[in-house]
Structure 1
Amino acid sequence: MTVVNPSNNTNSFTFGAIAVIDDLLLEGQDDNSTLIGRAQGLVGAVGRDGSLESMLNFVFTEGKYNGSTLAIYGRVVQGVTIERPVIGGTGMFRMATGYSVAKPVDISATKLVYEFDVYVWHKKMNN
């Protein structure tokens, strides 16, 4: 979906473009690392300078956080370390707040890998 008419820029992700993502959430950087969930959400090209806005949910499907989610929202400038707020969560992360730091690890035409360090404060819930 394109919200505005694209510019003459040859970049395929131009101002106004929106992408839906559903990527692997791995425990480590290696492709063979343990799968712990999915990174799902929306990314939109919001700045004519190439900046993006992302709405991510880390959906945990394995391990001790299985069934829980973390919501991360914020501005993205590709290729640099990105800090974004944690704005909520479910399951073990109910009432979550905090921040994430994502560092680029492998960026190419076919691959986009970031390492996330996520710092979360949440209320322990008695079920």
Structure 2
Amino acid sequence: MAATRAAKSLLLCLMVAFLHHLQFQFPPVAATTSLGKNESRDGGSHGKTLSFTLYQQETINKTAYIVVDGVAGAGVSQTTTPFGTIYVFRDYLTVRADRASPVAGVAEGSSITTTLDGLQSLSLAKITVDHRGHRGSVSVLGGTYNTRPSDYPVVGGTGDFAYALGYVRSSPVDLRGRTVTYKMELHLYWPPYAHYAPVPHKPV
């Protein structure tokens, strides 16, 4: 009898171990589905994914300033600053490219020009959002190319965006005049879906 009970216990342990192994062999199907623009997949932000677009409105010497002059290379223009220039900004985020559209957040941060042609920099920013029922902030750090789309990894979040990973893509919309506009696409992923998030394609 003791041998029979031991055999049954061993069989039960093997079945549990096998089922546990199967659980990690097949990732959740929902994690591989595509994102919907401007909405979360499940109507909420926790444990899923979220994607939406806002527009950054930046006005030279009003919401953005050069605080340290660069030392060499290109001069100051709408798209270039000398190597070593430190630039700070606190720009409104609107729901459409039109500057008069409703404000949905703020982007604040700084950048340092890192190339002699004045077109590239290292940027860090905190993006605070109050939009479509979502409130909180995400922080990003990455490289900027002033005249082309740039992707910034998300390195942290607060509020409804706590524990989020993903990336923010910033693309120039209008670089003419004193106020410039950038399209800002936020693509956010929460565990366990962050593991299956797509790698952003390099902008052309």
Q: Same fold (TM over 0.5)?
A: yes
Q: Counterparts in 2 of 1:2-81, with a 5 A limit?
A: 2=68, 6-7=71-72, 9-11=74-76, 13-50=81-118, 51-61=120-130, 64-66=133-135, 68-81=136-149
Which structure ranks higher in relative contact order (CA pairs < 8 Å, sequence separation ≥ 6)?
Answer: 2
* Inter-partner Cα distance in structure 1 for 2:190 and 2:154: 11
Residue type matched to 2:83 in 1? F
> What is the CA deviation profile of residues 24-61 of structure 1, one whole-angstrom value per residue up to 9, with x for unaligned ones?
11111111211011110111112223211110111125
Dislocated runs of 4+, deviation >4 Å: none
* Inter-partner Cα distance in structure 2 for 1:38 and 1:61: 9
TM-score, normalization by structure 1: 0.83
Q: Which has the larger radius of gyration?
A: 2
Counterpart for residue 41 of structure 2: none
Stretches of structure 1 lacking an aligned partner (at least 5 in a row): none
CA RMSD of aligned residues (A): 2.0
| 1:91 and 2:159 correspond | yes
* Inter-partner Cα distance in structure 1 for 2:71 and 2:121: 15
Residue type matched to 1:6 in 2? V
How far 1:117 moved relative to its partner? 1.2
Counterpart for residue 171 of structure 2: 103
- Higher deviation after alignment, 41-50 or 55-64: 55-64
How far 1:94 moved relative to its partner? 0.8
Residue type matched to 1:37 in 2? G
How far 1:112 moved relative to its partner? 1.8
TM-score, normalization by structure 2: 0.54
Q: Which has the higher strand share?
A: 1
Residue type matched to 1:74 in 2? G
- Percentage of identical aligned residues: 25
Stretches of structure 2 lacking an aligned partner (at least 5 in a row): 1-66, 192-204
2:82 and 2:117 in contact (8 A); partners too: no
Equivalent pairs counted in the alignment come to 121
Residue type matched to 1:97 in 2? L
* Inter-partner Cα distance in structure 1 for 2:91 and 2:108: 6
